[in-house]
Amino acid sequence: MEEKRGLTIKDLLIRLILIIIFIFLLIWLFPMPDLKPLNNQIFADNIDRMKDVAKSYYTVERLPENINDSKKMTLKEMIDNKLILPLMDSNGKYCSEDDSYIEITKLENEYIIKVYLSCSDKQDYIIEHFGCYDICSDKCKMLETTSKSGYAKDITKKKTTIGKITTTKNNGKIYEYQFVKNECTEKFEKYVCPSGYYLAGDTCIKNGSQVVTKEATKKVSVVTSTDSKNAKAVTNSSTELVDASCRIDYVTSTQNATTKTTLYSAIATTKTQKITADKVYSYDVKGAVATTTTTNANYITGQNYDVITADQIISSYKWAYDYTLVSTDGSLAYVNDNEKMVYVESWSEPTCSTCATLKVYYKYYHYTKTAADYKYSCDAYPGYSLYDGNKCRKATTTSKTCPGGYKPNGDVCTKTSTSYSCSKYGSDYEYNSNNKTCVKTTISYKCPSGTEKTSDPKYCAKKVTTYSCPSGTTDAGNNTCKKIEYSCPSNTSTKTYTLNGTKCTVKSKVKVCSCPSGTVQTSDKLHCAKTNSSTTYTCSDYPGYTLNGTKCTKTINTEKITYVCDSGYTLNGTNCVKTVNTSDSKKAEKKYNTVCEQKYKWSTKTSISGWTYTGNKRQIN
């Protein structure tokens, strides 16, 4: 009997290749159907389900009332209210419950519904227009709409136009129409005074002053005075010479000593100095070994947003002080939506400075209402939600990007990096990133010129010679020393010299002469001059003056004019002036504020003189 053998690896490979060929033939003969139309149909069915919910939910009572008003409901709110079940897209994922919504908006003559659906495979919206018959039952009357021009319109079989109102006769129904007009009244605010006046109750007072001027009284008187001038002095003199009184004396002075410089050779001293040897570098360079690594990463999915600025809305108000009012009226306090007058205090004052009767004054503070705080809102932008405090944003499209350093490569992101290493050459080699090489550095030492090697190769020996001067000498340069000696001249019969350091003290023999008091020594120092003089005075330079000792005098008569003022006046040149107080008072001017308010009225008339139709009406039967 023949023995059975097991399957070999070759047999398995042949069978695997045949199976792969069979699968490719099936794919070629029976290609996969195009699923895109099916995916679009699933998305359209989901949008229709949301639209049907909107039409059934927004009955007459739930519709927006004013033109351009909107009402919105997210898919999450619809699911929470059991109006619809969660929606699933073609990928088997649930659509976004927060981003998907329905929104109904009232226009001039119709309503529009916007249905927005956001799923993982698609995001889109539809808009459907519909009128009254689309949303009302058979028993519901037609919706009334108001156009921008202010006309009220009813869809009826017969219409009659009166002014700007279109009235409708339908089964005997009676309507009232709303009218509005502004009524303005003048309301007393406060008393005011002209510039320079101050307010006292309802009176303006100005205190001032007035200058009164009149001529001063002129008085003339004769004044006798003596004019005095210095008389001219005339001197007569004569000179007499006499011999001076002389004696022998000694005078001491100083002069520079004579110098003598002597040069000597400096003393030489030689020493051995240790210095650092020069380093000599040698390099062995080899190419670094490169290693390439490829890394894969997944795409990053991002959400894009449309961002706009949110509307700023006043959230609270406060009372701000405006001004203070003083009045004799005690009933001015009031408060309304925009301002208020608050009573503070009252006091009594006499009606005049000499009156016994009193007048009561009332003090008020006036306040106006101003904004205290604000908030931000996105209600005016459908589909947008508040973000970052004062911005509105709405999700738009998604994007796919690669992480930093990675590039797209089909279904993944790829990054290729190359690293270099010197481990192949041993630990003595270091990597140089500038040129991607491996470098081995060897250091040797060399002694500079003029030096000798030592037992330590890092150091060298150098002989250094220094020079110094012996005591009593100084350095003269060029390895020499110098010594300076000082001397004075030889003594004479009239002069004696003494050496003091670098100076010579000179003692000289001189003849000294002097003159007695009252005389002046002549230029030869040997005689004395005595001057005899006498002085007389004369008024010859001043005709009409008389000599009086050393003065020349003359008597002069002159007229003196003076001005005088009465008591209370002050002299100012030839006038007399004084300042008197004045007072002026007048009735203060009343200041009024114009206060306007809107008043409303209902009437069956279609027009009222002085009133404006608001566009609103109501049935009264």
**Co-location of 47 and 136 in the same domain:** yes
Domain annotation covers residue 19: no
Mean pLDDT on 408-414? 87
Domain annotation covers residue 582: no
Residue 306 has pLDDT above 50, yes or no: yes
Bigger pLDDT: 111 vs 8 = 111
Give the length of the chain: 621
Give the number of domains in the chain: 5
CB crowding 580-618: b at 16 or more within 10 Å, else e: eeeeeeeebeeeeeeeeeeeeeeeeebeeeebebbbebe
Token representation of residue 339: 């301002």
**Co-location of 42 and 127 in the same domain:** yes
Residue 178 has pLDDT above 50, yes or no: yes
Q: Examine the fold and report which residue of 143, 169, 196 is the final residue of a domain before the chain moves on.
A: 143
Residue 406 has pLDDT above 60, yes or no: yes
Give the model's pLDDT for residue 166.
44
Tell me the sheet residues that pair with 598. 182
pLDDT in tens, 513-557: 888 887 888 877 778 888 777 778 888 888 878 888 888 888 887
**Co-location of 363 and 389 in the same domain:** yes
Give the model's pLDDT for residue 504.
92
Residue 114 has pLDDT above 90, yes or no: yes
pLDDT in tens, 591-600: 877 777 778 8
Give the model's pLDDT for residue 125.
92
Domain annotation covers residue 461: no
**Co-location of 494 and 349 in the same domain:** no
pLDDT in tens, 256-287: 888 888 887 888 888 878 888 888 888 888 88
Q: Which of 338, 343, 336 is nearest to 320 (CA)?
A: 338
Residue 19 has pLDDT above 80, yes or no: yes
pLDDT grade for 143, boundaries at 50, 70 and 90: very low
Mean pLDDT on 376-398? 86
Give the model's pLDDT for residue 128.
86
**Ramachandran angles phi, psi of 478, nearest 5°:** 55, 40
pLDDT grade for 15, boundaries at 50, 70 and 90: confident
Give the model's pLDDT for residue 74.
95
Q: Which of 210, 217, 211, 212 is nearest to 574 (CA)?
A: 217
Domain annotation covers residue 101: yes
d(CA 363, CA 199): 13
**Co-location of 313 and 184 in the same domain:** no
Mean pLDDT on 10-32? 80
- Residue 293's domain comprises 289-299+405-443
**Co-location of 122 and 177 in the same domain:** no
pLDDT in tens, 338-374: 899 999 899 888 877 777 788 888 999 999 988 878 8
**Co-location of 375 and 410 in the same domain:** no
At a CB cut-off of 8 Å and minimum separation 6, what does 175 contact? 167, 168, 604, 617, 618, 619, 620
Domain annotation covers residue 65: yes
Mean pLDDT on 605-612? 84
How many other CB atoms sit within 10 Å of the CB of residue 326? 17
Give the model's pLDDT for residue 340.
92
**Co-location of 162 and 120 in the same domain:** no
What percent of the chain has a predicted confidence (pLDDT) above 90?
11
Mean pLDDT on 18-47? 76
**Co-location of 50 and 127 in the same domain:** yes
How many other CB atoms sit within 10 Å of the CB of residue 41? 11
Residue 405 has pLDDT above 90, yes or no: no
Give the model's pLDDT for residue 124.
92
Residue 200 has pLDDT above 60, yes or no: yes
Q: Is the dihedral of CA 16, 21, 26, 32 positive or negative?
A: positive
Helix (H) or strand (E) holding 40: helix 36-57
Residue 408 has pLDDT above 80, yes or no: yes
d(CA 243, CA 264): 62
Residue 155 has pLDDT above 80, yes or no: no
Mean pLDDT on 425-438? 85
**Ramachandran angles phi, psi of 471, nearest 5°:** -60, 135
Residue 55 has pLDDT above 90, yes or no: no
Asked if residues 579 and 209 have their Cβ atoms less than 8 Å apart, the reply is yes
Domain annotation covers residue 105: yes
The structure's pTM equals 0.24
d(CA 506, CA 500): 11
Give the model's pLDDT for residue 404.
80
Give the position of tokens 């003559």.
Answer: 109
Side chain identity at residue 422, one-letter code: C
Long-range contacts of 247-251 (CB under 8 A, 24+ apart): 247/511, 247/512, 247/513, 248/509, 248/510, 248/511, 248/512, 249/509, 249/510, 249/511, 249/512, 250/507, 250/508, 250/509, 250/510, 251/507, 251/508, 251/510
**Co-location of 41 and 138 in the same domain:** yes
Mean pLDDT of the chain: 80
Mean pLDDT on 1-26? 74
Give the model's pLDDT for residue 136.
44
Bigger pLDDT: 249 vs 68 = 68
Bigger pLDDT: 204 vs 240 = 204
d(CA 464, CA 235): 92
pLDDT grade for 302, boundaries at 50, 70 and 90: confident
Residue 42 has pLDDT above 50, yes or no: yes
Bigger pLDDT: 80 vs 154 = 80
d(CA 118, CA 89): 10
Give the position of tokens 């109904």.
Answer: 104
Give the position of tokens 């108001």.
Answer: 146
Side chain identity at residue 356, one-letter code: A
Domain annotation covers residue 477: yes
**Co-location of 55 and 76 in the same domain:** yes
**Co-location of 349 and 382 in the same domain:** yes
Give the model's pLDDT for residue 571.
84
Domain annotation covers residue 14: no
Give the model's pLDDT for residue 511.
76
Asked if residues 79 and 87 have their Cβ atoms less than 8 Å apart, the reply is no
Q: Examine the fold and report which residue of 396, 426, 458 is the final residue of a domain before the chain moves on.
A: 396
Mean pLDDT on 502-512? 84
Mean pLDDT on 385-407? 85
Q: Examine the fold and report which residue of 457, 491, 512 is the final residue of a domain before the chain moves on.
A: 512
